[in-house]
Amino acid sequence: MTIEGDGRFSVGVIGAGYFAGFHHEAWSRMDDVAVLSVCDRSIDAARDVASRYDISRTQTDSAAFFADGPYDIIDIATPPDTHLELIRKAVTCARIVVCQKPFCASESEARQAAALARASNIPVVVHENFRFQPWYPIIRHLIATGRLGDLYQATFRLRPGDGQGADAYLARQPYFQKLEKFLIHETGIHWVDVFRFLFGEPEAVFADLRRLNPAIAGEDSGLFLMRYADGFRAMFDGNRLADHAAEDRRLTMGEFLIEGSKASLRLDGDGQILIRNHGANAENAFEYTFEREGFGGNCVFNLQRHIVEHLTQGAPLVNLADDYLKNMDIEAAIYRSNEDKKWIAVSR
């Protein structure tokens, strides 16, 4: 399905909203990819994206969009309540389907989408991009090679500072105000995935969540704690109203501290990794470089490039729908723990 006489992989993108813009920008930087069609309910939004990135076809109707195919990749960057039906159609005319998170409107719909992927033998990849932020593979390598020693505990402190007042989130993603489940479902799920990426599968979770801003429907502050079989603990401490020191507070969206028997590792708000050896007072920077294009250290590009590399090199795909259901199971356990005020076991 590569473009005849061209050799580039064909992509179709459904969505032209705020975050979909990062998808389009990332695709536009790949020489071996061509976006053939963009679909959005707003023709003005679709045309704006098409003009910016030289896309030849714009659609407002998904049936017409699918008829523009087949595609190598269909990228779904639309609200969750549209995901299942779009995936149902996309698996019939694409080699790989990519779908933004939150994944589908419910756990039931997500399981149906995963079943569609299995039945069609078409990979459905959830666009869970934070594990593709450049500091996390580095941190994972440092853990795996024993640089920190035996791990004791870890804490990520989410502090984007964008949640104060009656106009919170309206400039970028106004639907945030109406989500009945917000901090964990929309944002904390990223660190559910990151914790699994760095530390493996937890055995249980405990959570305490609350709402601070009365202008929104869901929770915007709270904690969840993951317990591991070896005694390790990983905590997410989230508060969308408070901020942290950073040139761009949306780069890392907070600060990370991982403590081990040999050393402690700190990720600061500018993406700097700092290591302090046990018994020492000074932190030393771990030298590495990363791209500052796009969103979050180029993580959208990195994920989408990972998908293209699967097509070119056969690299194994991550964040497939079946595996992503584990993130959703953990999310459900976090909300249940908050309601029941007790540890909730997580099936593995």
Classify domain 9-127+301-317 by CATH architecture.
3-Layer(aba) Sandwich (3.40)
Q: What is the pLDDT of residue 181?
A: 96
In the chain, ranges of CATH 3.40.50.720 domains: 9-127+301-317
**Lowest mean pLDDT across 4-8, 87-91, 97-101, 287-291:** 4-8
Q: What is the pLDDT of residue 6?
A: 82
Q: What is the pLDDT of residue 4?
A: 53
Q: What is the pLDDT of residue 347?
A: 77
Rounded CA gap, 190 and 252, in Å? 12
* Mean per-residue pLDDT, 220-247: 98
Q: What is the pLDDT of residues 151-204, one digit of tens each?
A: 999 999 999 999 999 999 999 999 999 999 999 999 999 999 999 999 999 999
Q: Which two tokens stand for residue 28?
A: 């536009």
- Spatial CA neighbour of 229 closest among 151, 114, 141: 151
Percent of the chain with pLDDT over 90: 97
Q: What is the pLDDT of residues 294-309, one digit of tens each?
A: 999 999 999 999 999 9
In the chain, ranges of CATH 3.30.360.10 domains: 131-286+327-345
Percent of the chain with pLDDT over 70: 98
In this prediction, residue 214 has a pLDDT band, given cuts at 50, 70 and 90, of: very high
In this prediction, residue 2 has a pLDDT band, given cuts at 50, 70 and 90, of: low
In this prediction, residue 348 has a pLDDT band, given cuts at 50, 70 and 90, of: low
Q: What is the pLDDT of residue 324?
A: 97
- Statement: residue 292 has pLDDT above 60: yes
Q: What is the pLDDT of residue 3?
A: 61
Spell 120-152 as b/e; 16+ CB within 10 A means b: bebbbbbbbbbbbbbbbebbeebbeeebbeebe
| Main-chain dihedrals φ then ψ at residue 266, nearest 5 degrees | -125, 130
Q: Where are the alpha helices (DSSP H) in 180-320?
A: 189-199, 299-313
Rounded to the nearest 10 degrees, the angle between the axes of helix 107-120 and helix 83-90 is 0
Contact 60, 338 (CB under 8 A): no
Q: What is the pLDDT of residue 5?
A: 58
Rounded CA gap, 58 and 305, in Å? 24
- Statement: residue 1 has pLDDT above 70: no
Q: What is the pLDDT of residue 7?
A: 87
Tell me what the pLDDT averaged over the chain comes to.
Answer: 96
Q: What is the pLDDT of residues 5-54, one digit of tens each?
A: 588 999 999 999 999 999 999 999 999 999 999 999 999 999 999 999 99
* Mean per-residue pLDDT, 271-281: 98
**Fold adopted by 131-286+327-345:** Dihydrodipicolinate Reductase; domain 2 (3.30.360)
